A and B are shown apart, each in its own frame.
Chain A
Amino acid sequence: GENVEQHPSTLSVQEGDSAVIKCTYSDSASNYFPWYKQELGKRPQLIIDIRSNVGEKKDQRIAVTLNKTAKHFSLHITETQPEDSAVYFCAASLGYSGGGADGLTFGKGTHLIIQP
């Protein structure tokens, strides 16, 4: 089955600086890669996702890059703000191209701390 590794487990950055979280996956058939943000005591919320036919995707201060050859993808947050403090999870799945629904395999999470 799929295995997703996520690094670092904790990341502390100064407010206004950039943050990068990296993930690797093992199954070359995976083609859907979402990122979720989870604030303390709340449910995970999708913040951005990317498919294998795209190398990069941006949404305001957030971007995700995907390298299918190397089987890794990264989350980039620029101009970090206090409200970016949360736990971030990467995930991978076959997506619908697998012929039906597929569950997500998650990384273990990164606790992002924005220092004022």
Chain B
Amino acid sequence: DVKVTQSSRYLVKRTGEKVFLECVQDMDHENMFWYRQDPGLGLRLIYFSYDVKMKEKGDIPEGYSVSREKKERFSLILESASTNQTSMYLCASSPPSGLAGGSTDTQYFGPGTRLTVL
């Protein structure tokens, strides 16, 4: 069973703080993603990574950066948190291409981290 975990379910930070959100998957997935979810806006892609040390900007990368030093771990970094970054953050991963028996595009989500920036 695919397992995607996130370091915190709830997080409260102050404006200007540096914030790290961690995501870990245990299925040797190559691809990992960070989304934010806001009421009425759905999920929006922030960044994704298709390999260690590789990263690609999504639709809303401003104010965020990412780090992927190990295959199983993908971190989202808010260099200087602002109140408009208060949101639910969801991590996802997808299997490597060519995996038999399943869709290589299927993304599996973590439980989410609800971040509040005061």
Contacts and interface: CB of A to CB of B under 8 A. Distances in A.
Contacts, number: 67
Contact of A103 (B33, B106, B108): B33
Interface residues of B, number: 29
B59 A108 contact: no
Interface residues of A, number: 27
A103 B42 contact: no
Contacts of B106: 34, 46, 49
B78 interface: no
B104 A105 contact: no
B105 A107 contact: no
A103 B94 CA distance: 10
Interface in A1-54: 1, 6, 9, 32, 34, 36, 42-46, 49
Interface string B77-88: 000000000000
B58 A43 contact: no
Interface string B26-63: 00001101010000111111001110000010110000
Nearest to A31: B105
Contact of B107 (A46, A107, A108): A46
Contacts of A95: 104-105
Q: Which 4 A-B pairs have the closest CB atoms?
A: A101-B31, A103-B45, A101-B50, A106-B42
Given A9-B40, A46-B106, 5 more contacts: A6-B42, A44-B109, A104-B43, A104-B107, A105-B45
